[in-house]
Amino acid sequence: MSTTSSSPGAASPSSPNTRVRRLAERARYDEETVHAILDEAYVAHVGIVVDGLPVVIPYACARVGDELVVHGSTRAGTLSAIANGAPVCATVTLLDGLVFARSAFHSSMNYRSVVVHGAARIVDDPAEKVRCLDALVDHLMPGRRAHLRDATEGELEATQVVAIRLDAVSAKVRTGGPNEPHDDQLANVWGGVVPLAIRAGKPQADAITASDAIVPQVAGY
Amino acid sequence: MSTTSSSPGAASPSSPNTRVRRLAERARYDEETVHAILDEAYVAHVGIVVDGLPVVIPYACARVGDELVVHGSTRAGTLSAIANGAPVCATVTLLDGLVFARSAFHSSMNYRSVVVHGAARIVDDPAEKVRCLDALVDHLMPGRRAHLRDATEGELEATQVVAIRLDAVSAKVRTGGPNEPHDDQLANVWGGVVPLAIRAGKPQADAITASDAIVPQVAGY
């Protein structure tokens, strides 16, 4: 059940050094794969080093061109460390299924993941900052931006937007059923895949919402 | 739409230093919250520092007592670094919903997250290693272990199990609808929550599986 095992179609090096080298070899292939995965992701887990120790924090994310964008309060310590140019590693994982083999060893998960290494930059140009925040809204809540008022000056000042370039990036993908030796293939034990996905439930309007307000459509993945 | 914003019921310090101090103050409260979140998680994003740079890798995970357990191939470089006592940060995020306010600024996500700081230990006692692997199987695939053959010596040798103690740990939880100023509360814009959860689809048996084999039940969260 290791997420480090079989990975057809993957660029999945085992260390940061090989990661970047292998990325360079497969850059075109990876861009398509990487973008498709990021474009389905709600959350990136962003790692930085603080006083020599790793810190991993989840952020809502969106791809904007060839960068991964996250945001938060200007008062958030971790985001400030990210924004100040500390090396970051942003990882996105889409869990697609549980793979039932007839042994624990060959059981697995289907998933698509992306690992990005790099330094973040603060998005401080006002127009670009607004574009990034609009992109975040419309990525997470498709079509929503058109229904919302513009951000105020105060809101923009209170919000920090950081962007991580998708240069040193790799994707890893596992698909398909169990991959196990013939001796294990016992018909009386169920083998196969149970798909998993993030799904949206019934929208719950608050008390203010008028009965004819347009209900958002959320796709999940 | 910041995951760093409002967090009712949370222990969510802004730096590793305060994190550990606040954990110590709220240890009993946190244990219940933390265990409940970890017990619904499929994946932990584990961060370590390699040559001064952060690396964040997703692992299938399970809580076993007061430890978070992950596993992988003994040949996996990152897991070996984790197992060798490097400081780690393991983060689990359960995404519970999208919060639709009438502004981007007050829009948010509902989620439950746990951040664990610590050093990992290799689980090398053979009996304990088997218990941890069994726990992983039954956490991710409830009741599955009883249907599977025992692991072979070779499989156990090829698998590395590492455990991270839940000592320096904090939980962060956001629930509920939009929290926005009165002036923003326009009835003609839909406000509220669209729940999100990982859901299981229809199990897809492989060609070997007999028609009367017991189909696994997967709960999602």
The predicted-structure confidence for A145-179, as pLDDT tens digits, reads as follows 999 999 999 999 999 999 999 989 999 999 999 99
Cα(B135)–Cα(B39) distance, rounded to whole angstroms?
11
* Pick from B49, B147, B212: CB nearest A49: B49
CATH classification of B16-178, choosing from 1.10.10.60, 3.30.70.3270, 3.40.47.40, 2.30.110.10? 2.30.110.10
**Token pair 């889409």 is at which residue?**
A94
**Chain A residues with CB inside 8 Å of B189's CB?**
147-148, 209, 213
**CA B71 – CA B217 distance, rounded (Å):** 23
CATH topology of domain A16-177: Pnp Oxidase; Chain A (2.30.110)
B190–A215 CB contact, under 8 Å:
yes
Tell if the CB–CB gap between B203 and A194 is shorter than 8 Å. Answer: yes
Give the best residue of B112, B148, B212 to mutate against chain A (max A CB count within 10 A): B148
Structure tokens at B18: 């305060």
What is the model's pTM? 0.89
Q: In this structure, are residues A202 and B211 in contact, taking their beta carbons and an 8 Å threshold?
A: no
How near does any CA of chain B get to the CA of A172, in Å? Answer: 11
Alpha-carbon A188 to chain mean position = 38
For residue A184, give Cα distances in angstroms to A99, A101, A175, A190: 14, 8, 20, 12
Q: Mean pLDDT by 10-residue block, N- to C-terminus, for chain B (221 residues)? A: 39 41 45 94 96 95 97 85 88 97 96 94 95 98 95 96 93 93 90 97 95 90 78
Domain boundaries, chain A: 16-177
| Nearest chain A residue to B177, by CA | A206
